[in-house]
Amino acid sequence: MTLSLANRSVTPKSNDRRIAGRRLVLGTALALTAIGATLVYAAQTQVFDPQTHKWVEYDKKKARKYYAAHNEVPEAFRPQMVKFRTAEVPGTIIIDGNQHFLYLVQPGQRAMRYGIGVGREGFGWAGIVRVGRMAEWPTWTPPAEMIARDPNAVKHAAGMPGGPDNPLGARALYLYERDQDTIYRIHGTPEPWTIGLDVSSGCIRMRNDDITDLASRVKVGAKVIVLMQGAALYKGV
């Protein structure tokens, strides 16, 4: 099945709204546009197949197939400036894991929106943190918890040098609570087709071009709001 997607979990680009849910529309032509809003709660991203009139899982296999056909993620997950009402100051990062979007608040009730990959089931989290530091082509050192559950991480216990195959990708924003590293990051990825999916161990992943752009716009100390599943924007709409 060829995938053509229209993001149905957000309103058009000109008017982003806060809703819950992770459904995308599967069309017959290979294109993606933002259309009307839908309220849903789902464990995984879903797409609507107009031929069968059923919601189907949008999983890694389908995402890779789409990426292989286009060498690109669906349009809704590409960076774009959107209208965005919030009381948060410009420079604040707001992460909506339900929609798989990261918003960088801009002046004039607007935000730069990026597609993201988020924590898989059991690895989601929420809170208010800050960017403690940033790194270019960072070294990846798996935390002890990951090493304990993932034998493949053991060989990198001393750290994996930065590079195109490094799980942190081109840039990493290290998230701190006060002066304590939370072990969570906003980072790039060598697997860009996973954007829009629940795939990580809790970190927020972005395409390398997107995290590079985000890092160029963000300052150390920036506030980062990670929303709970189904939550409305903190002080937003």
Known catalytic residues are 187, 203
Give the 3-state DSSP-derived string for the chain, with helices as H, strands as E and coil as C. Answer: CCCEEEECCCCCCCCCCCCCCCEEEEECCCCCCCCCCCCCCCCCCEEEECCCCEEEECCHHHHHHHHHHHCCCCHHHCCEEEECCECCCCCCEEEECCCCEEEEEECCCEEEEEECEEECCCCCCCEEEEEEEEEECCCECCCHHHHHHCHHHHHHCCCECCCCCCCCCCEEEEEEECCEEEEEEEECCCCHHHCCCEEECCCEECCHHHHHHHHHHCCCCCEEEECCCCCCCCCEC
